[in-house]
Amino acid sequence: MLPVVFIVGPTAVGKSRVAIAVAKALGTEILTADSTQVYRSMDIGTDKPRPQERDGVPHRLIDLVAPDEPFNAGLYRQAALREVARLHADGRVPLVVGGTGLYVRTLAYGLWEGPPADWGLRRELLEEEAAHGEGYLWNKLQQADPALAGTLHARDRNKIVRALEVAIRTGVPLSEWHLRHQFAERPFRSIMIGLTMDRAALYRRIDARVLREIEDGLLEETRELLARGYDETLGSMKALGYRQMTGYVKGRYEWDEAVRRLQRDTRHFAKRQLTWFRHDPSVHWLTIEEEESVEQIAKRVLAYLGTLGIVERARVAR
């Protein structure tokens, strides 16, 4: 069976543009692995490639649900497997691109379902957070499951509550369950390519991208979403960009502080992404230079795929 190629890495490293060049060379489509790009009407803050930027390459698994519709890794895996099967049936190598580590791992290695939701316990945990202040549940998870807590932001309440729920109900940390599961449910061969770069250079890119998103209308997009009734308590509205812009809209801090927070939080997010992906020993890392062009990086990716026979197989399939 044909493999599936993954291009992963931190936000702002340039995955999307490189992937378009690689997809064109392979004659395939891009399957996005991004937990925020699944939401419709959330374009600027999620950094979706604009139609004119896609250079004719179809992008799948974006704009799947409204911002107030539930979505999770299990639903993502179901949709992604359908796309993989379609491309394989057409003789093409699927190209999965994104920075949501859980989505990548779920698609490539399977999903550990765990116990069903305990809504009473979740309510109790949220009440504890309300009583003790923001960050309380993350600190609690740090005690119960430090390995997992290190990969989560203190405001990522949904994932924190789920991890605590599993630890409390089963007596075993979620990270330990993941190790036991080994994510061995592999329906295809996965080829993992990670893009990374010097930390200072990456942070410069992040800061510049935040300013670009603001110039493109991130604040206006956030205001429009709030006006349409998408409350800030929604998981989608807690995503990077929308959370910080909402704080400004609600008058919690001034504009300069909103920008500073967004740049800082995005840098922290990139660091957590790198930590996540570096736990996967199968990732082949390419360290790129700040001045390298998209074409140069794409050539390096294709050269590596060529050593595995992927480029030739893609040409034969076409």
56-77 pLDDT, tens digit per residue, is 999 999 999 999 999 999 899 9
CA angle centred on 198, ends 197 and 202, rounded to 5°: 75
Q: What is the pLDDT of residue 3?
A: 95
Tokens of 93: 């190598």
192: Cβ–Cβ under 8 A, 6 or more apart, which residues? Answer: 6, 8, 108, 280, 282, 283, 284
* CATH label, 4-111+184-317, candidates 3.30.420.10, 3.50.30.10, 2.60.40.1180, 3.40.50.300: 3.40.50.300
Tokens of 45: 């803050």
Strand order in the sheet with 59-60: 59-60, 30-32, 95-97, 4-8, 190-197, 284-288
Q: Which parts of the chain sit beneath pLDDT 70?
A: 112-113, 178-185, 315-318
Closest C-alpha among 78, 13, 66, 30 to residue 229: 66
144: Cβ–Cβ under 8 A, 6 or more apart, which residues? Answer: 163, 164, 167, 168, 173
Domain boundaries in the chain? 4-111+184-317, 119-181
Q: What are residue 308's phi and psi, to 5 degrees? A: -95, 0
CATH 1.10.20.140 fits 119-181, yes or no: yes
Instruction: Tell me which residue has tokens 């050269």.
Output: 303
DSSP helix/strand/coil, 194: strand
4: Cβ–Cβ under 8 A, 6 or more apart, which residues? Answer: 84, 93, 94, 95, 96, 107, 108, 188, 189, 190, 191
Q: Distance between CA 212 and CA 65 in Å, rounded?
A: 26
pTM value surpassing 0.95: no
Q: Distance between CA 216 and CA 64 in Å, rounded?
A: 23
Q: What is the pLDDT of residue 184?
A: 54
Q: Distance between CA 61 and CA 73 in Å, rounded?
A: 12
Q: What is the pLDDT of residue 116?
A: 76
**Tens digit of pLDDT for each residue in 235-251?**
999 999 999 999 999 99
Sign of CA dihedral 231, 233, 235, 240: positive
Q: Distance between CA 299 and CA 197 in Å, rounded?
A: 17
54: Cβ–Cβ under 8 A, 6 or more apart, which residues? Answer: 20
User: Which uninterrupted H or E stretch holds 155?
Assistant: none
Q: What is the pLDDT of residue 181?
A: 58
Q: What is the pLDDT of residue 112?
A: 65
Q: What is the pLDDT of residue 262?
A: 98
